[in-house]
Amino acid sequence: MKAIVKNMAGEQVSEVELNDAIFAAPVNQPLMHQALVRQLANARLGTHKVKNRSAVAGGGAKPWRQKGTGRARQGTIRAPQWRHGGVVFGPTPRSYRKQMPRKMRRAALRSALSVRVAENALVFVDGLAFDAPKTRDMEAFLERLDVLGSALLLLPDRNENVELAARNIPDVKVLRASYLNIKDLLGYETLVLPLAALPAIESFLA
């Protein structure tokens, strides 16, 4: 399949032949959902913790004798029903990591790219570079491309001027193509992809 290529002025300059195995792959929504859940789960720290009755300080002595007081029997003031007592079945540190085979992860990325192409949410440009890291230059560039909502800029390599120019714009993110992931791919309305970044994507998805 072919796609339109624009320059930084927003004008159509050529067309690019896309790899159908990547940009026209069968769409597997359950697979994309599984990959997204995995990425979100792996980002969780799992460091939340409460103290149970064995970890709370104090409470070594029996509050009062077992019988004869008219009150309920108690063994420790650190039991769960007491103020400052231990917590029953509370959270403890754990790992939320989920495993997913590499082939499945890459198939999910191919499905997501195919969805974005079908939605006309993928914009190809012949190049992306600025002489200085100016936010207004980035805003003008996106406006010329008719990018009105959130945008993800995929770069072949690090470009400090582009990254700094986009840093102060809400809902605009710059990412290297080799770090492409399902969360960013589905989380932005428009993807801006320079032609120089295509080989980086095809190298691990083809």
Give phi and psi for 116, each to the nearest 5: -65, -35
- Cα 139 → chain centroid: 24
d(CA 57, CA 90): 17
Residue listed under structure tokens 């064995």: 54
Q: Is the domain of 28 the same as that of 111?
A: yes
Q: Is the domain of 18 the same as that of 116?
A: yes
- Look at the chain and report how many structural domains it folds into: 2
Q: Is the domain of 56 the same as that of 141?
A: no
How would you write the pLDDT of the chain (206 residues) with one tens digit per residue? Answer: 889 999 999 899 999 999 999 999 999 999 999 999 999 999 999 999 999 999 999 988 999 999 999 999 999 999 999 999 999 999 999 999 999 999 999 999 999 999 999 999 999 999 899 999 999 999 999 999 999 899 999 999 999 999 999 999 999 999 999 999 999 999 999 999 999 999 999 998 98
Domain housing 86 = 45-95
pLDDT of 68: 96
Q: Is the domain of 40 the same as that of 51?
A: no
Q: Is the domain of 102 the same as that of 181?
A: yes
From the CB of residue 11, how many other CB atoms can be counted at a distance below 10 Å? 9
Query: 15: part of which helix (H) or strand (E)?
Result: strand 12-17
pLDDT of 134: 94
Q: What is the 3-state secondary structure (H, E, C) of 148-198?
A: CCCEEEEECCCCHHHHHHHHCCCCEEEEEHHHCCHHHHHHCCEEEEEHHHH
Q: Is the domain of 91 the same as that of 106?
A: no
Which of these three, 55, 79, 95, is where a domain ends?
A: 95
pLDDT of 1: 84
Q: Is the domain of 150 the same as that of 74?
A: no
d(CA 36, CA 41): 9
Q: Is the domain of 63 the same as that of 145?
A: no
